[in-house]
Amino acid sequence: MNNNWILILGASSDIAIATAHKYAQNGYSIYLCSRNIEELKKEAKNIEIRHKVNVSVLYFDALDYESHKEFYSDLPVKPKGVLLAFGLLGEQGTQQKQFELAKSVIDTNYVSAVSILEVVSKDFEKRKSGFIVGISSVAGDRGRSSNYIYGSSKAGLSTYLEGLQHRLCKSNVHVLIVKPGFVATKMTADMNLPDLLTAKPNEVSSAIYMGIEKKKNVIYVKQIWWLIMLIIRKIPNFIFKRMSL
C-alpha cells in the first residue's frame, strides 16, 4: 500500500464507486464523500476488505459552497488526486418550466465544481503536484434542444477544467476532462441505451486511470463518441436546426 489518497466527490455515483475500486486496487486509500453517508459505509467496508486499503467516508454537500474551504482543510491527509463525480441530470422539459430546477442543475454541475476545485487547485498549485479528474459530458460539446440546460452546465464545466489545465500545467498538476457518453448507471437505468455506445462504469474507471497515467487532457470513454461529437459539432447550423436531437 502506498500512502496516496484520492478524494472522490459525489461518491455515490456508479462511476465514482468503480473509480474508487480501480484506485484502491492500485494501492490508493480513498475518501468517499457524499451527502448519503449511510449508503456509502457499506461500500467503504467492501473496498477496504477487497483491496486492503484505508477508506474514509465524509459528509460533503456540493451545494454548500461556504463549507468547501473548511471541508478541504479538515482532511487529515491531503489527497494526491481528486475525482469530481457529482452531477445532476434532471429532465429538460420540467427545467424549462421551472427555473428553480434549471438552476439546481447549473449550481450542481458548474457552480459547485468551481467552488470546490478552486480550493483544491490552490493547494495542488502550492504543492506542485496532484491530479484532478472532472466528469463532464458529451452533452456540453454542442447545445441541443433536448438537453441544453444540462449540456450548457457541462460545457461550463469543460471550459472551466480547460482553464485549470492551462493554469496548473505550470505547477505540474494534471487535469483530465472525461466525457463518458452513455454509461449504464443508476442515473440512466430507465433509458433504453444502444449497447454499442454505452460504457460500463468499470470501463469508465479504467479509462480514467489510464488517462491519468498517460497524462491525457480529454477522454471520451468509447472512442466512437469522439467521432460522433466531431460530426455533431461540424453540422452547419442551417441543417442542425432542422434536426431533432
Partner 1 sequence: MTNKNKVKISGWGGFPKLMLDLINVRNEKHLKIITSSIGKFITRGNGRSYGDSSLSSICVSNIQNNKILEFDSKTGVIRCESGVLLSEIIEIFVPRGWFLKVTPGTKLITIGGAIASDVHGKNHHKDGCFSTSLIEIRLMLSDGSIVNCSQQECKELFLATCGGMGLTGVILEATFSLKSILSQNIKQTTIKTKNLHQTFDAFEKYADATYSVAWIDCLSKGGSIGRSLLITGEFSDDRDLSYSSKKVVSVPFNFPSIVLNYFSVKLFNALYYFRAKQGVSHQNVGLDSFFFPLDSIDSWNRIYGRNGFVQYQFILPKKESLEGLTKILEKISDAGLGSFLAVLKLYGKENENYLSFPMEGYSLALDFKIQKGLFNFLKELDQIVLEYNGRIYLAKDSRVGKSVFEKGYPNIEKFREFRKSQGMKEKFTSLQSERLGL
Given the rule CB under 8 A, which residues bind partner 1?
39, 42-43, 45-46, 49-50, 186, 189-190
DSSP code per residue over 82-112 = EEE-------HHHHHH-HHHHHHHHIIIIIH
The grid coordinates of residue 7 equal: 478524494
Nearer to partner 1, 50 or 233 (CB): 50
- The answer to whether the beta carbons of residues 203 and 214 sit under 8 Å apart is no
Minimum distance of partner 1 from residue 188's CB (angstroms) = 10
Nearer to partner 1, 192 or 237 (CB): 192
Minimum distance of partner 1 from residue 42's CB (angstroms) = 5
Nearer to partner 1, 36 or 217 (CB): 36
Nearer to partner 1, 14 or 141 (CB): 14
The stretches of 107-236 forming alpha helices (DSSP H) are 112-127, 148-168, 201-213, 223-234
User: CB atoms < 10 A from the CB of 84, how many?
Assistant: 25
Minimum distance of partner 1 from residue 189's CB (angstroms) = 5
Minimum distance of partner 1 from residue 239's CB (angstroms) = 34
Which amino acid, one-letter code, is at 182? F
Minimum distance of partner 1 from residue 63's CB (angstroms) = 24
Nearer to partner 1, 111 or 197 (CB): 197
d(CA 209, CA 215) in angstroms, rounded, equals 10
